[in-house]
Structure 1
């Protein structure tokens, strides 16, 4: 009887230890962020990121200028991205990302008469970025990133001012 009781206690304790390791859940995976670097320059730039795992996340970013402090010539930017994190903590540290950027800009294009005309041009850019993210124990997020991409679909890309797109930021947000 003692052997059965010892075996039963041992089996239950191993089962409890195994369950505590495998049932780990991390529920903080939403990150709204504001690009304070662009905000200072008169550009509303907001991001939402959803963390898929401790090593990856997907997000969407919207940028709309609201002030003429800097001549942006941008009507809007809408960016979707996938990030891969290299840090030891949950979605923290160095990261690399690939992005697709739908952009609408006021640009100078050649016309049929050999002159130039200013017009709104919508295009899609693909690119790469990299950066670093810090997350405090209270959930405050601070990240800095830099990257670029190339517009793909406009026939006048070689003659445009916005052949390449810049993706940069100093984001402040909250993880919940």
Structure 2
């Protein structure tokens, strides 16, 4: 009976050490790939936003990247044209830095700090005077602003190269607050390829 218990214990330790070495091998092969290109398919289908990102991994904990967003939503444009929204965001360029909260390179939670250079159209009511009569009219113009914000998310790799990540965050515009939106959303469900 003692021999069976000893063999079972030995087999258990052998299996756990084999799993640990397999995890280390997978993690090290992912860590050798320092670049990733990502597309947000959900935003394209649901909101007509084209969102693409590039991420460069500096080490196990930190990465930097840049993402770009183009808004081509007809619904948002119609809402703006009909006066339901004061602003129509059209583009964003977001440099970011991320910190991994987990030690695994295959699946981990992260936090992110970002800057968003964003722009689009805005509409405001202005008072005009003509021939001694005053009147109000809606005036449309372009805006450009910069937001600072943060986000949190989760990333998972499949077969050491295909990444799935979800994140949510918000930033606040700081330059042209009278014409641009107060807040900028940073939300995504990206599918990527790491190389």
Q: TM-score, normalised by structure 2?
A: 0.69
Structure 1 unpaired stretches of 5+ = 1-23
Question: Which structure 2 residues correspond to residues 14-93 of structure 1 after superposition, within 5 A?
Answer: 26-40=31-45, 41-71=47-77, 73-90=88-105, 92-93=107-108
Provide the aligned C-alpha RMSD in A.
Answer: 2.2
Please state if 1:145 is matched with 2:164. Answer: no
- 1:146 Cα deviation after fit: 0.3
Aligned residue for 2:74, secondary structure, equals coil
Please state if 1:123 is matched with 2:142. Answer: no
Residues 57-111 of structure 1: CA distance to partner in whole angstroms, max 9, x if unpaired? 0010011123415448222100000000012212741100000000012112354
Structure 2 CA distance for aligned equivalents of residues 136 and 146 of structure 1: 22
- The equivalent of 2:186 in structure 1 is 167
- 1:166 Cα deviation after fit: 0.3
Question: Would the aligned equivalents of 1:109 and 1:156 in 2 still touch at CA under 8 Å?
Answer: no
Structure 2 CA distance for aligned equivalents of residues 91 and 85 of structure 1: 11
- 1:118 Cα deviation after fit: 2.0
Q: TM-score, normalised by structure 1?
A: 0.76
As a proportion of its length, which structure holds more helix? 2
Aligned residue for 2:117, secondary structure, equals strand
